[in-house]
Amino acid sequence: MKTINKYRRIRRVAFIMLLTLLCVVNGRASVKLPALISDGMVLQRDTELKLWGWASKGESIEISFLNKSYKTTTDANGKWEVTLPPQKAGGPYQMQINDISINDILIGDVWLCSGQSNMETLISRVLDLYRDEVSQINNPYIRYLKTPLKYNFTGASDDINGGSWKSATPENILDFSAVAYFFAKDLYDKYKVPIGLLNSSVGGSPIEAWLSKDALKQFPTNLQVAQQFAQPGYIDSIRAEEKKITEQWYTTLNQNDKGISNWFKNNIDISDWGTISLPGYWADKGIGNINGSFWFRKEFEVPASMVGKPAVLRLGCIVDSDSAYINGQFVGTTSYQYPPRIYTIPLGLLHEGKNSVTVRVINSIGKGGFVEDKPYRIVVGDKFIDLTGNWNYKVGVEMALLRPQTFFQYKPMGLYNAMIAPLLNYPIKGIIWYQGESNTSQPAEYSTLLTALINDWRIKWNRTDLPFIIAQLPNFMQPKENPSESNWAMLRESQLKALALPNTGMAVNIDLGEWNDIHPLNKKDVGHRLALIAMKIAYGDPNVISSAPIYKSMVVEGDKIILSFTEIGNGFTPTEKLKSFAIAADDKQFVWADAKIEGDKVIVWSDKVRNPVAVRYAWADNPEGANLRNKEGLPSSPFRTDNW
């Protein structure tokens, strides 16, 4: 019996020793790193670098990098941090953190790219302008990490929700932000320094979603909303209710849609279908503002020369969701209004002679239809078949409005906590910011919000001089015949006011928009203008003319107003007739004005206004034809001299 007990004790001790050894081994293997610290990362040059992560309490951490070793131990919460000395640009390098190898590391300049959908917009969305250029992109020294969407109202997250570093190679480039890539390309081409792009942006997000709790203390109403969404179970209750309503709406729609089983088929009787001219919105075509499902059908002739070749169906943009069929066969679907509809037609589906295209459109709220001034065609090589004009249509089912869903990521503080706070340990060169469309309903307060965000992020990064560069909103919507008030103009003014802060800049994009698309394709010039400002304020390049002309002051002389400007570079571009100037007397009634350049001044007048007191320039949602710019081609920011 004693012998048996002895062996039992020996086995128990051996088992405990084995467990201890396994714990040690597993402890070293259990080191967890944030998503930012991973293969392919770019570290900011010429500044102290903080590395951090998690492991077991009391765990020893050893880092080997560039022939030097750094050691620390995790704290009581299992967190560790190590600060490395400043490093020069270079790479690729390897780093070892305990048992984890991090490969292909570059040291260069890291830029945070933030805002809403125009910062998010991928290169794949703008290929109509840049297809040939994009096909040649292959630069492993430009790296990109997109922060996945996540929100958090209960506190600052310690890590982003995934993501990985990608090089600007043919395999990855279509998933890069277009603005961010073209910005980085200009910087790399000039300075030959690796560029890292951290894209933390969310389509549709208002600025208050990017403010921290500290910053929101200036805005009690927004802070109250954030605190409400932080309450346990609050979001889940809303989500459950809205899911039930949405599922019921779509179930009812699909069960009652008279065409869902056969109206997409090739040979059906459409003698009782109506006729509508497309593109356009059906509410504007005399049908009424109907929600639910609509079916549209058009027949078209295909010549023999286009048969048996790769073909694409282009359906512009459709409000809101669509499913498309060619000759009765499904070819593509899009679930919301903004993306361009570009659907590949299977080889062999088109045949010589008569063919058909059918589109089922679902619209749950607002005006539904086909956005004007977009491509609607069948494309085969360099030839196309025009699909604009008369279509047949029929209502599948008319529905009541679907209650808009709650976008939790748009609520105050949520995106800051989840998508900015986890980045604060990571040193950056500067920030480019493209946002504002979602705040145009209350443009006057945007200046205060943007100023608060800039100051707060600089405090959080412990960099009071951190460069912050704004992309001013471009032109959008239909031009107005006469001078009028404009929320978009007011928001641009609020963006302009933020330049009172040091080390800020703004790219004016008033000439780069599209009247019918809140996501204009020209992202290259936006990136270029942002890069010019970065060269000036972040890289200290004295020879770069980076800013567009900015209104400074005015003087009234008789029936004319003389305007002075800063940032005119080498002078204004000579222009026979300046457009988009308006002038008013003290009755506040603005009329279109004549204007001319005299040296470094602009003279504005109108025969209809004898005693002028105020001038506005490009003060509109879409100031079509605004043409005041410097000789470097940079357009002047919209402005007003009044504050009415």
Q: Could you give all domains of the chain from N- to C-terminal order, each with its CATH number?
A: 255-399 (2.60.120.260), 550-640 (no CATH)
In the structure encoding, which two tokens stand for residue 580, read together? 């988009």
- Closest to 582 in 3D by CA, of 634, 644, 630: 644
Among candidate residues 473, 471, 477, the one with its CA nearest the CA of residue 517: 477
Chain-centre distance for alpha carbon 71: 40
Asked if 402 and 365 touch (Cβ cutoff 8 Å), the reply is yes
Angle among Cα 635, 638, 644 to the nearest 5 degrees reads 170
CB 108 within 8 A of CB 194: yes
Do residues 312 and 343 make contact, with C-beta atoms less than 8 angstroms apart?
yes
**Tokens found for residue 311:** 């073909």
Q: Which residues of the chain have pLDDT under 70?
A: 1-29
Note whether 199 and 431 are within 8 A (CB).
no
DSSP secondary structure, 158-219, as one string: SS-S----EEESTTTGGGSBHHHHHHHHHHHHHH---EEEEEEE-TT--GGGG--HHHHTT-
- How many CB atoms within 10 Å of residue 552? 12
| CA dist list (Å): 54 to 48, 64, 75 | 20, 17, 9
Residue 69: burial class (beta carbons within 10 Å; 0-12, 13-18, 19+): exposed
Find, among 122, 99, 119, 102, the residue nearest to 43 by Cα. 102
Asked if residues 110 and 427 have their Cβ atoms less than 8 Å apart, the reply is: yes
Runs of H (alpha helix) within 523-573? 524-537
Residue 572 phi, psi (nearest 5): -75, 150
Closest CA to 116 of 510, 429, 433: 433
Residue carrying the six token digits 């989840």: 418
The single-letter code of the amino acid at 364 is: S
Please report the pLDDT score of residue 25 as a whole number: 44
Separation CA 603–CA 608 (nearest Å): 16
Position 30 scores a pLDDT of 84
pLDDT at residue 9, as a whole number: 55
Predicted confidence (pLDDT) per residue in 345-366, tens digit: 999 999 999 999 999 999 999 9
Cα–chain-centroid distance for residue 85?
34
Extract the tokens encoding 409.
Answer: 């990521």
Give the pLDDT confidence score for residue 188 in this predicted structure.
98
What would the DSSP string read from start to end of 445-472?
Answer: GHHHHHHHHHHHHHHHTT-TT--EEEE-
Give the sheet arrangement for strand 291-302, strand by strand: 274-278, 389-399, 291-302, 353-363, 321-326, 329-334
First to last CA, the chain: 101
DSSP-derived secondary structure for 105-133: EEEEEEEEEEESHHHH-BGGGGHHHHHHH
- Coarse DSSP helix, strand, coil percentages of the chain, rounded to the nearest 5 percent: 25, 30, 40
Neighbours of 179 (CB within 10 A): 30
CB 399 within 8 A of CB 436: no
Cβ-proximal residues to 174 (8 Å cutoff; 6+ apart), any chain: 122, 123, 124, 134
DSSP string, 285-344: GTS-S-EEEEEEEEEEEE-GGGTTS-EEEEE--EESEEEEEETTEEEEEESSSSS--EEE
